[in-house]
Amino acid sequence: MPHDHDHDHEHGHGHDHDHEFSELSDVALRVRALETVLAEKGLIDPAALDVIVDTYETRVGPRNGARVVARAWSDSAFKARLLEDGAKAIAELDYGGRGGEHIAVVENTADTHNMVVCTLCSCYPWPVLGLPPVWYKSAPYRSRAVIDPRGVLADFGVTLPEETQIRVWDSTSEMRYLVLPARPEGTDGWSEERLAELVTRDSMIGVGLPLKPGASA
């Protein structure tokens, strides 16, 4: 959801000061200092910063990944290419660039469920999922996904059969992962557009399952 972006009107949280004048929080001051110093040196272009923010706030998000998944469900040749070289196949839909230089796509099957984490920080396949949700960046998820993936899945409302093997993929800056969930039953003959509506962000991280037919908006 976009929010007010007029950073000339921000002010600090302290309201016990003179209300007539502005006050910037410590972090806001640090960010402005960085921007000023780097712009003076010609190392950053303030207009480019606005474009980057707009890109991630409005243009790049999990709908991109949903289209990739729906294509894979509909086109077995595309799916084969996707599993072979994720980033390359994803580029066929014109998605790519920063944070998506190398993407491995891991397929959920009857035997195996895949889940993605970044234990180090928050590496995430930006071009197909946008920026990660807060919980993905949190220490509890980063540690528990590895120690107790079944418990994490239960927290997200997902219970898998005992015999299903869970594979946890630890992302790095060099390799990021996208889960290809299983196509829901009862969707024979559906168009890619309709299928894409069943694909949730969480199902592509592996902490959720796609919606069932009839459950989508």
Partner 1 sequence: MNPPDLSILPGIPREETGPLFREPWEAQAFAMAVHLRDKGLFTWREWAEAIGAEIRTAQANGDPDLGDTYYLHWLAALEKLVIAKGAASAHALEDTKDAWDRAARATPHGKAIVLGAEKTA
Give residues in contact with partner 1 (CB under 8 A). 1-11, 19-25, 27-38, 41, 43-45, 48-50, 52-53, 56-57, 98-99, 101, 120-123, 130-131, 133-141, 143-144, 147-148, 151-152, 155-156, 172-174
Query: Nearer to partner 1 by C-beta: 4 or 94?
Result: 4
25 is catalytic: no
76 is catalytic: no
Q: Give me the torsion for CA of 139, 150, 216, 94, rounded to 10°.
A: 60
Compute φ and ψ for 179, nearest 5 degrees.
-85, 135
- The one catalytic residue among 22, 121, 138, 191: 121
Alpha helices in 75-176, H assignment, sequence order: 76-84, 86-90, 126-129, 134-137, 139-147, 149-155
- Rounded least distance, CB 147 to partner 1, Å: 7
Helix (H) or strand (E) holding 179: strand 176-180
173 is catalytic: no
Task: State the residue for tokens 């294509």.
Answer: 71
Query: Nearer to partner 1 by C-beta: 80 or 120?
Result: 120
123 is catalytic: yes
Distance CA 27, CA 85 (A): 40
Query: Nearer to partner 1 by C-beta: 88 or 140?
Result: 140
Residue numbers annotated as active site: 118, 121-123
